[in-house]
Amino acid sequence: MPVRPRRPLAVLTAALALAAGLGTAATSPAAAATGTFQQVSGFGSNPGNLAMYSYVPAGLPAGAPVVVALHGCTQTAADYDNGSGWPKFADLDKFAVVFPQTSSANNSLECFSWFDAGKDTRGRGEAASVVQMVAKAESLYGSDPHRVFVTGLSAGGGLTADLLADYPDVFAGGAVDSGLPAQCATSQSAASGCQGGSQNLTPAQWGDKVRGSDPGYGGPWPRVAVFQGTGDHTVQPVNGTELRDQWTDVWGIGQTPSSTRSLPGSTTLTTYDDSAGNPAVELYSISGMGHGLAVDPGSGPDQCGSTGAYFLASICSSYYTAQFWGLASGGGGTGGGLPAPTGLTVTGTTGSTVSLSWSAVGGAASYDVFRDGSRVGGGTGTGYTDTGLTAGTAYSYTVAAADSAGTDGARSAAVGATTAGGYQPTCYTTDNYDQTVAGRAFQSGGFTYAAGSGRNMGLWNVFTVHTLEETAAGYYVLADSGCPA
């Protein structure tokens, strides 16, 4: 098939046929979902003019994670719900999925604006709208704010990288599928250059684009997975390498792989571990795959999705992403049959440690402990001390019992813990106008939002009064019920 000219994601045409033979394949049916896909209204001032949809599995417990999934150009939220495979794992592992949707009113081909500094930066435009959706999901579903993740395809992948850079305090992890490095382009005219070839930046220069997106933030950083086809002629494969360079630099771990292994679908997985030996960045290079999301239709535990335009038969990227983020309970979400441990309690904290205990589970051979969704350790006893943590930082923990084969059962309810030291909370009570003048909040569309957290505080006037708590430098949360919140 002849290669057609590349065009920016911002101006892709629906008729574009990709060099890897994407075309319009006959759609394969996805596994039947058991939850509810529906539109959600009233999630905030919505400065990016987006629509919010969500998939909520039956029996979703309180304290479950949230995954934000951003569609590609010419797609809708419903397309991504149907084709990506995320509902399957939401059903199996019990988490909510938020599907933001843009429209032709924002972009003629319904692309997210990953290249527009007025829309993809912290507190502005589409980026701010997505974070408002996260806050709405947390409120509606009682979700764990420490286990919020974001993924996206193509232009959605570009915005995913921007969101991870803009809001590292909101997102614990991300996955960029056939996308671009964070803040690669700051105008539409520069977008095609990012798509078409190397920007010739060092890892440190790429990392500076992340650090500059939320100045003063020092971690913890999101864990990032990158999926890139070697036959992609719309977003050149070098973008996967540059994403790897960007996020390994942010983590301070260099570009030397910790491990490399082969996966199904002609995929090579290269892993880069943090200082504690846990995967921080993963690069999935898919040989010959064109521009799209990697799916693998079928009923197997590591299969998902439906093939079609921009959904390409390879591996199930959603399965590997859920594994990387620590969302799966084991064996692709099937679990080992053991019940969730009860009584998970924080028994002590220092500036760098959190100690936990829980009740024993009959038949358990060992236990696995997860921090912010990622496994950090475990053992045969019913207690664990997590070490090497950052002072004054909030973490979320769950624990699962494993059988004699090492397969985890269901995870416990999450508990939160904050290490000692660090930033000392300060509270401010005044009207919304004064809060914005003081820089503790900002206004958009006549409404007031807390700086950092983006929480809606109501109308921007001198009559509405709130208490804001500064929990970290420049980061404010509502504390009307008492300080500390």
Catalytically annotated residues: 154
CA 233, 282, 163: angle at the middle one, nearest 5?
75
Asked if the peptide bond before residue 484 counts as cis, ω within 30 degrees of 0, the response is yes
Best CA proximity match to 361, nearest among 394, 335, 328, 389: 335
What residues contact residue 208 under an 8 Å CB cut-off, 6+ apart? Answer: none
First to last CA, the chain: 60
Rounded Cα–Cα distance for residues 50 and 101 (Å): 6
Please report, to the nearest 10 degrees, the dihedral formed by the alpha carbons of residues 175, 178, 182, 185 taken in order.
Answer: -160
Rounded Cα–Cα distance for residues 223 and 82 (Å): 26
Order the strands of the 475-478 sheet from edge to edge: 426-431, 465-472, 475-478
What residues contact residue 445 under an 8 Å CB cut-off, 6+ apart? Answer: 45, 46, 47
Q: How far is CA 22 from CA 240, 285, 361, in A?
A: 19, 17, 49
Rounded Cα–Cα distance for residues 432 and 435 (Å): 5
Token code pair at residue 353:
């440690």
Asked whether the CA dihedral 8, 10, 15, 20 is positive or negative, the reply is: positive
Rounded Cα–Cα distance for residues 117 and 127 (Å): 10
